[in-house]
Amino acid sequence: MCQQGDFPHLMFYGPSGAGKKTRIMCLLRELYGAGVERLRNETMTFTTPSNRKIEIMTVGSNYHLEVNPSDAGIYDRVVIIDLIKQVAQVNQIDPNGQREFKVIVLSEVDELTKDAQHALRRTMEKYVATCRIILSVNSTSRVIPAIRSRCLGIRVAAPTPDEIVTILQNISKKEGVVLPSELAKRISEKSKRNLRLAILMLETCKVQQYPFTTQQEIVELDWKVYLRETANQIITEQTPAKLEKIRDRLYELLAQGVPPDVIFHGLVRDLVSNCDMSIKAKVLEYASLYEHRMQNGSKYIFHLEAFVAQFMSIYKKFLADSMIMDEF
């Protein structure tokens, strides 16, 4: 692809932790050489139609720019238009850059609003002469067809457990540590084919105890434990006061940068596993409803809290019915 003269817009898609960003960086290195690894962090400021200033963190080199426009929330359309316009209007200044265009890497494009995606489609066509866009998405179903049709799709599948074990062994070898194969397999199984999570678990195990042992405990991530405790509190008590405390815990998770869809899926999984079989179908029905609303909305906390309130209502009614049945 790099040797051909015509380089298209690309869309890398696959589950989180599969290696999309790693493959994008390998592609950029093949395009431009080692210069893409000399990265710098910059803060770009954008002005909305209402004259509000928005600051977005970017990472880039002389040849490319990485940004997550969904960080701007409902103003992502402004970021998309202004960012691409700024980059596209500056010509490549390095004569050894090999290419006449710069590359913009956009992360989590499936999280963008529909307005922003339509603006991206128009901007992609307008500045195709001076810049190429590489999109990183988890789910293509949430990207409008007009964008999908203008990009070459590259699927990045989640690594198999055996592949994760091999990668963990290679990392350990380069770092000069000895990793027992049994521990590597346990980390691989617990990561659920998420390579990023597997590497974080390996680092945690190294900090916790070294030399490694075969039966060493694999410490869970703090936010996962916190989320499970939140679900247990919902099961324990269903009152307005408890709902208010749960809202604070959800705010804390969002403030720590845990994606709202990850919070939602984890919460649903823990709640469903701890409730009675007779109400599981109803809980999942409402879960799908509120997840759909959350994807279409912009205030995630509203939909997370609404689902918790709905679950409390269902569970409290189930407990009341059970007590009546016991009395009979």
The answer to the question of residue 2 being in a domain is no
Please indicate, yes or no, whether the overall pTM of this predicted structure exceeds 0.85: no
Distance, CA of 126 to CA of 65 (rounded, Å): 18
Please tell me whether residues 26 and 129 are part of one structural domain. Answer: yes
The answer to the question of residue 302 being in a domain is yes
* pLDDT per residue as tens digits for the range 54-84: 777 888 787 788 888 777 777 777 777 777 7
Asked whether the CA dihedral 235, 241, 245, 247 is positive or negative, the reply is positive
Please tell me whether residues 70 and 170 are part of one structural domain. Answer: no
Contact 276/325 with Cβ under 8 angstroms? no
Whether residue 202 is predicted with pLDDT greater than 70 in this model: the reply is yes
Distance, CA of 42 to CA of 287 (rounded, Å): 39
Please tell me whether residues 166 and 78 are part of one structural domain. Answer: no
Please tell me whether residues 131 and 17 are part of one structural domain. Answer: yes
The answer to the question of residue 237 being in a domain is yes
What is the domain-level CATH number for residue 308?
A: 1.20.272.10
Whether residue 133 is predicted with pLDDT greater than 70 in this model: the reply is yes
Please tell me whether residues 196 and 254 are part of one structural domain. Answer: no
Query: pLDDT band at residue 151, thresholds of 50, 70 and 90?
Result: confident
What's the order of all strands across the beta sheet hosting 64-67?
40-47, 53-60, 64-67, 102-107, 131-137, 10-13, 152-155
Distance, CA of 199 to CA of 17 (rounded, Å): 10
The answer to the question of residue 216 being in a domain is no
Contact 156/12 with Cβ under 8 angstroms? yes
Distance, CA of 77 to CA of 82 (rounded, Å): 9
Question: Containing domain of residue 50, as a range?
Answer: 10-155
Instruction: Please report, as a single letter, which amino acid is at residue 253.
Output: L
Check residue 2 and give its pLDDT.
59
What is the domain-level CATH number for residue 116?
A: 3.40.50.300
Please tell me whether residues 195 and 242 are part of one structural domain. Answer: no
Please tell me whether residues 176 and 237 are part of one structural domain. Answer: no
How much of the chain is helix, strand and coil, in % rounded to 5? 60, 10, 30
Residue 193 is encoded by which pair of tokens? 């084919």
Of 145, 179, 208, the position where a domain reaches its end is 208
Q: Which residues of 140-157 are buried (b: 16+ CB within 10 A; e: fewer)?
A: beebeeebbebbeebebe
Please tell me whether residues 188 and 236 are part of one structural domain. Answer: no
Count of domains forming the chain: 3
> Over the chain, what is the mean pLDDT?
82
Please tell me whether residues 60 and 185 are part of one structural domain. Answer: no
Query: pLDDT band at residue 93, thresholds of 50, 70 and 90?
Result: very low
Distance, CA of 115 to CA of 87 (rounded, Å): 21
Please tell me whether residues 116 and 194 are part of one structural domain. Answer: no
Three-state SS across 132-181? Answer: EEEEEECCHHHCCHHHHCCCEEEECCCCCHHHHHHHHHHHHHHHCCCCCH
Please tell me whether residues 240 and 175 are part of one structural domain. Answer: no
The answer to the question of residue 3 being in a domain is no
Check residue 6 and give its pLDDT.
67
Whether residue 206 is predicted with pLDDT greater than 60 in this model: the reply is yes
Q: Which of 93, 156, 182, 180 is nearest to 130 (CA)?
A: 93
User: What pairing do the DSSP bridges indicate for beta strands 53-60 and 40-47?
Assistant: antiparallel
* pLDDT per residue as tens digits for the range 23-57: 888 888 887 777 777 878 878 787 777 788 877 78
Please tell me whether residues 24 and 139 are part of one structural domain. Answer: yes
